[in-house]
Structure 1
Amino acid sequence: MTETDLLNLTYSNITDARQDMSRLLQERSRHLSLPRSLYNDPLLFRVDMEEVFMKEWLFVGMTCEVPAAGNYITVDIGQNPVLIVRDRDGEVRAFHNVCRHRGSRVCTGAKGKVANITCPYHQWTYDLKGNLIFAGSDMGDDFDKSQFSLKPAHCKTAGGFIYVSLAEGEPPAIDDYLATLATYMEPYDMENAKVAAEVTLEENANWKLVIENNRECYHCSGSHPELLRTLLEWDDTNDPRATPEFLALCESQSAKWDAEGIPHKHAEFGLRNRLVRMPLKEGTAVMTMDGKPACKLNMGRIQNQELGSLRILHLPNSWNHMQSDHAIVFQVIPVSAQKTLVTTKWLVHKDAVEGQDYDVEKLRYVWDQTNKQDRTLAEQNQRGINSLAYQPGPYSKTYEFGVINFLDWYSDAVLKNLPGTAQ
C-alpha cells in the first residue's frame, strides 16, 4: 500500500480503523507531519479517544477548585461525564458521573457544593465517597445498596493539580512525575489559591493540531506580539537554538532562585511530562503587557517577583505557566475529529481581592490574545490538511523538536495501548 493510498483511506468500521491506525503509526516518518486521516477521520478520532483519552492520565482541574468537603467540578471526556469531589476526609476523588439506577448524569453543573450527591432523576443519593445511601423504599427488601456505588475513576493529586485516568485496569505509572511536581509546586501553596478567571474556546481543529501548535514557537514571531513582550522563545536550556546570552541569563537567574529555595532544574519523565523554570525577558516579571505583576499578592511563599515561568508539560492535554503572582493552567479536551475545547484558568492567592489586588483584564489580556491567535492558526491548519493537496510536510529539527517529541509520545502511546501492537 502506497502513502497516497494511506492518505485516502476511508473506514467502514472501527476494526478497520484500528488496523490502519496501527499501520499508519508504524510506517510514519518521525520528521514529517501525520497523514491526513489521523487529523480528520471520525473513526480514527474514536481510536484516539479510546486508546489515549480513556487510558492515559488527564489533567482535569486544580485542588483549590474543590477547597472543602462537598465541593465538586465536572468534566466530559468524550462521552464520559466525570465528577471530581472532595470527601469529608479531605481526599479528592473522581467518579463516573453516572447514576447506578438508570444511567442519568448525577451532577449536572460545571461546579458546585453538596452535602451528598443526589441524582436529580429519581433522587438516588450517594455520599462523598460514592457509596449509595438512599434509593427509596421501592427497590424491594432484598435490594443491596452496597452493590450500586458510583463507579470510581483513578485519581491522583500533586502540587495542586488533579489528574484522572479512565483506564479500566492499571493506568500508566505517574508517581515519579507527581513527586517532582509536588516539590516544584511547593513554593506556590496552591491549596491556598483560587481561580480568578476562566475561559473555554471551541477550536475547529483536531486536538493533535492544538498540541502541535503549543509545542513550538516557530510561529511566535509572526503571530504573538503580545506574548513576546515578555516570553523568550527558547523552550529550555536544552533547546538547540539557545544562545550564549540566554544561557548566561539562565545562570544568573538560577543563582537567585537557589537563594530563595525555588526548584528550577530541568526534569523530564519520558516524553510525557516535563518541568523547567525559565526566565522571562530581562526587566519583566510576569506575562503581562507591561511585564509588571498583575496581582499585588505573590503566590505562596514566593518573594522574588522576577521568578520567570515554571513551565509544566503534561501530555496529552495540558501545558502550564507558574509565575510569582499568578498561575495559568491549560486543559485540552477533544470533542470530535475536528473540534477541541481549550480551557484556560488564571489563578491568584486566595486572599487577593478583585479590583483591589488584581485587575482581571490585565491578568488575562496577553493569554486571551495568544489563545485567540492560536485558535486561528490551528483552524487554518485543519482547513489546509482537509485539502486533497495536503501531504505530510517536514518538521524543523531545531524549531519544532517539541512537536516531534509529542508525536513520538502519541504514536508510542497508541501503539502500546492498541491490542496486539505493543512495542
Structure 2
Amino acid sequence: MSVIPIKTHRELVDSRVPGCGLPGEVFSRQDVFENDLDVFFNKLWILVGVTADVPEPGDVSTVEVGKASIMIVRDDDENIRTYRNVCRHRGSRIMKEPGKASVGMLVCPYHQWTYDLDGSLKHTSHMGKDFDPKCRSLIPVHTKVVGAHIFVCLSDDPPADISKLEEVMTPRFAPHQMQRTKIAFESELIENGNWKLVVENNRECYHCEATHPELTNSFLPEDFGFCPDGLGEEDLKSYDTYVARNAANKANWESEGYICSIFESLDESVHTNFRTQRLVIAGSNESQTLSTKVASTRLLGDLTRRDLGDVHMWGHNSWTHIMSDHSIVAFILPIAPDKTLVRTKWLVHEDAVEGVDYDLKTLTEVWLATNQQDAELVQNTHSGTQDPAYVPGPYSKYTEAELDKFCRWYDAKLKEQSI
C-alpha cells in the first residue's frame, strides 16, 4: 500500500491556485500554526493594546502571544513601556495572569525580585555583594505607539517599515486625539477558526449584506463591492449617485484638513501590512450605530463636527473604526490552529460619562452583534475547509481582491523565512 507523503508548509502554500483560497491543511495543521506564530506574531509588528489599557502610572496590562507574555506598563513619566513577563532570576512570570492591574513596582511572586516601572531591578535579597543588578533589568520589547494603538515586535530585528504606518496614520488619527480616550467597554470572543480565516473574513464585505444587518445599516451598499455585469440602468445610476456622494464628502472633509484617501501597504514587499481610508457612513454619516447618529454626544478630542464618517485601519492582526464620537479597536491573537482570540475595545472621550454623554447599549450593540455573527461565519468556514471535499474556489475580483493580496503577502513572508 503506497503512502501519500505529507506536504510541507511551503508545498501547501505553493499549491494554491492564483486567485483562489489557501488549501484546507493551512488552517488546521499544528506545524503550520507554529510557523505562523513565529513569522507573523513574533517577527512582525502586531497590535496588542491601546493606551487607555494603562491610563495611570503603575498600571499594567499583560498580554499573551503564543508562549510569550508581555507586560504593557505606564511608567512614572507617563510613557508606555513593554517588557517580557519573565523574571530575570529563574524565569517566573511576574504578572501571573493576563489582564490588568495597578502596581507601584513590578514584584516577582517567587522570590520577590522587585523592578521599577522603567524595568530596572531595584531590590533582591541574599544575592551577595558581587551581584550586579544592572545586568538583570527586565527585557524590553520593541514598542511603537501610534494614536492610541500600541504595536510591539518580539523580534530583536523589528521591521523598519512600521515608520510608514506611523507616517500615514498619525495625521489621520490626530483630529480625534486618540490618547485622550478611555475604554467604555471591552469584550473577548474566542472564534473557533484559524486566525487567517478571521483576517479574510474581516477583509471582505461580500458576506455583509446577508449576515450583518446591524453593521450594514451604517454602510453604503456599494461599499460591499460593485460588479457592473448585468446591472440595469437604475442600478448604474445608483452607483453614479454613490460616487458623487463620496466625492462631495471627500472634498468637504479635505477642505477642513481631514485626510480621506485610500492608502494601502499590502504587497509582497512590505512587512507591516495595513490599509486605511475615511468612509462615508449611510444616513446621518455620524457613527456606526443603528440610527447612524453619534452614540456619545461628547465627541472625541476637541471635535465639534459629528458627520466625519469612519476612519478605518486594518493590519494583519487588527482592525479599527474611528468616528467623531467613539472608536472600535479590535485585534486577534492565535490560540490554536482552530481557535483565535478576538479582543475588542470601545473608546470614548476621557471625560465622557455613561448615562449622561452616552448609552452603553447604543454604543456597543452594532459591533457586539457583528463580532458574534463573524464568529459563526469563521467557525462554519473553518469546518468546511477541513471536509475532504473542499477545493478552494476563486475569489471575486470585485469584492475579495484584498484576500488574494493577503495570500500573496502571506506567501512572500513565509518565503523570506525559508519556510
Give the TM-score normalised by the residue count of structure 1: 0.90
Other-structure match for 1:322: 322
CA distance in 1, matches of 2:222, 2:142: 35
Correspondence list, 1:211-226, <5 A:
211-226=199-214
Q: CA deviation at 1:296?
A: 1.0
CA distance in 1, matches of 2:324, 2:161: 30
Aligned CA distance change for structure 1 residues 151 and 244 (closer, same or farther; 3 Å): same
| Matched residue type, 1:310 | V
CA distance in 2, matches of 1:30, 1:214: 21
Contact 1:67 1:191 in 2 (8 A): no
Other-structure match for 1:14: none
Render the CA deviation track for 1:214-268: whole Å, top value 9, x for unaligned.
11111111101111111125559x9777932222111111133123322212222
Other-structure match for 2:304: 303
Contact 2:13 2:23 in 1 (8 A): no
CA distance in 1, matches of 2:39, 2:116: 31
Correspondence list, 1:226-375, <5 A:
226-235=214-223, 243-271=239-267, 272-315=273-316, 317-375=317-375
Q: CA deviation at 1:284?
A: 4.0
Aligned CA distance change for structure 1 residues 170 and 331 (closer, same or farther; 3 Å): closer
Render the CA deviation track for 1:117-155: whole Å, top value 9, x for unaligned.
11122211111121111121x122211111211111110
Aligned CA distance change for structure 1 residues 346 and 204 (closer, same or farther; 3 Å): same
Q: Over aligned residue pairs, what C-alpha RMSD do you find?
A: 2.0
Corresponding residue to 2:100 among 105, 111, 121: 111
Aligned CA distance change for structure 1 residues 89 and 30 (closer, same or farther; 3 Å): farther
Q: CA deviation at 1:48?
A: 0.4
2:405 aligned with 1:409, yes or no? Answer: no
| Matched residue type, 1:397 | K
Render the CA deviation track for 1:323-376: whole Å, top value 9, x for unaligned.
011000111110000000001111000101011111111111011111111000
Structure 1 unmatched ranges of 5 or more: 11-19
Name the SS of the counterpart of 1:83 in structure 2: strand
Contact 1:42 1:337 in 2 (8 A): yes
Other-structure match for 1:378: 378
CA distance in 2, matches of 1:367, 1:375: 12
Count of equivalent residues: 402
Name the SS of the counterpart of 1:156 in structure 2: strand
Name the SS of the counterpart of 1:50 in structure 2: helix
Contact 2:319 2:330 in 1 (8 A): yes
Name the SS of the counterpart of 2:213 in structure 1: coil
CA distance in 2, matches of 1:74, 1:232: 38
| Matched residue type, 1:296 | T
Render the CA deviation track for 1:10-44: whole Å, top value 9, x for unaligned.
7xxxxxxxxx2222223422311111110000111
Moved over 4 A (4+): 233-236, 238-242
Contact 1:99 1:105 in 2 (8 A): yes
Corresponding residue to 1:46 among 34, 57, 61: 34
CA distance in 2, matches of 1:22, 1:233: 38
Name the SS of the counterpart of 1:226 in structure 2: helix
| Matched residue type, 2:84 | H
Corresponding residue to 2:116 among 127, 150, 167: 127
Q: CA deviation at 1:5?
A: 6.0
Contact 2:72 2:82 in 1 (8 A): yes
Q: CA deviation at 1:171?
A: 3.1
Give the TM-score normalised by the residue count of structure 2: 0.91
| Matched residue type, 2:88 | R
CA distance in 1, matches of 2:249, 2:211: 28
CA distance in 1, matches of 2:107, 2:243: 56
Corresponding residue to 2:16 among 7, 28, 34: 28
CA distance in 1, matches of 2:4, 2:357: 59
Q: CA deviation at 1:66?
A: 2.0
CA distance in 2, matches of 1:208, 1:371: 16
Name the SS of the counterpart of 1:93 in structure 2: strand
Contact 1:209 1:378 in 2 (8 A): yes
| Matched residue type, 1:216 | E
